[in-house]
Chain A
Amino acid sequence: GDSVTQMEGPVTLSEEAFLTINCTYTATGYPSLFWYVQYPGEGLQLLLKATKADDKGSNKGFEATYRKETTSFHLEKGSVQVSDSAVYFCALSDTGGFKTIFGAGTRLFVKA
């Protein structure tokens, strides 16, 4: 079945460092891909998405490109801030379209 694998955390960075969180997927068909973010004590919220191969999703300085050839959707940010400390989930819409498959999440700590 469809699945998402993302790098284990926690990831600890200093402020203004470059961030990469790796995500790879297995799916039949052409799923949409998502990154969600969860701040402490809150529900998940959509960070960015891409609906077809080579699309780049971007929001709040974060970017991810839908790479069909490598089945990847890595999250990047050029300069992280303390306020980016959160848990990040990679996800895909399943073949049927009614369910979203989530990765296990990667916790990010950013130090001042």
Chain B
Amino acid sequence: NAGVTQTPKFQVLKTGQSMTLQCAQDMNHNSMYWYRQDPGMGLRLIYYSASEGTTDKGEVPNGYNVSRLNKREFSLRLESAAPSQTSVYFCASMARPSEQYFGPGTRLTVT
């Protein structure tokens, strides 16, 4: 039981490049989330998926897109990376209104 896994762990992009962050959970949870964490800003919700087949914007969705590929997988895409998207990205899942389970994070630097 791996919990929530994320790939890659680290990534460096040049401004304007695109990339997809992958997330998978093996706990059969319905809801999945993408957050970014910046110094002094806590966690900010980018997008979430309450259940398979649905996605909704969070607090900071601009510049990102998501895909809920199936119940297990929820990907985050940056179409044209900007330096302001330099951050640590966390994926999380939740079975019901209760605690969330987090992945180990992806450290992204955009130069």
Q: How far is the CB of B83 from chain A (nearest CB, A)?
A: 23
Report B20-70 residues with CB < 8 Å from chain A CB: 31, 33, 40-43, 45, 48, 50, 58
Contact of B97 among A43, A44, A93 (CB under 8 A): A93
Residues of B within 8 A of A (CB): 4, 31, 33, 40-43, 45, 48, 50, 58, 90, 92, 94, 96-105
Residues of A within 8 A of B (CB): 32, 34, 42-46, 49, 89, 93, 97-100, 102-105
Q: Is the CB of A43 within 8 A of B40?
A: no
A100 and B42 CA atoms in complex are apart in Å by 13
Q: Is the CB of A104 within 8 A of B105?
A: no
Q: Is the CB of A43 within 8 A of B48?
A: no
Q: Is the CB of B42 within 8 A of A103?
A: yes
Q: How far is the CB of B21 from chain A (nearest CB, A)?
A: 14
User: Total contacts A to B, CB within 8 angstroms?
Assistant: 48
Q: Is the CB of A42 within 8 A of B104?
A: yes
Q: Is the CB of B102 within 8 A of A99?
A: no
Contact of B99 among A43, A49, A97 (CB under 8 A): A49
Contact of B42 among A32, A43, A98, A104 (CB under 8 A): A104
Q: Is the CB of A43 within 8 A of B105?
A: yes
Q: How far is the CB of A18 from chain B (nearest CB, A)?
A: 25
Which residues of chain A have C-beta atoms less than 8 A from B100's C-beta?
44, 46, 100
Q: Is the CB of A44 within 8 A of B90?
A: yes
Q: Is the CB of A44 within 8 A of B102?
A: yes
| 10 pairs, CB–CB < 8 Å, chain A vs chain B | A45-B102, A46-B99, A46-B100, A49-B98, A89-B42, A93-B98, A98-B48, A99-B45, A104-B42, A105-B43
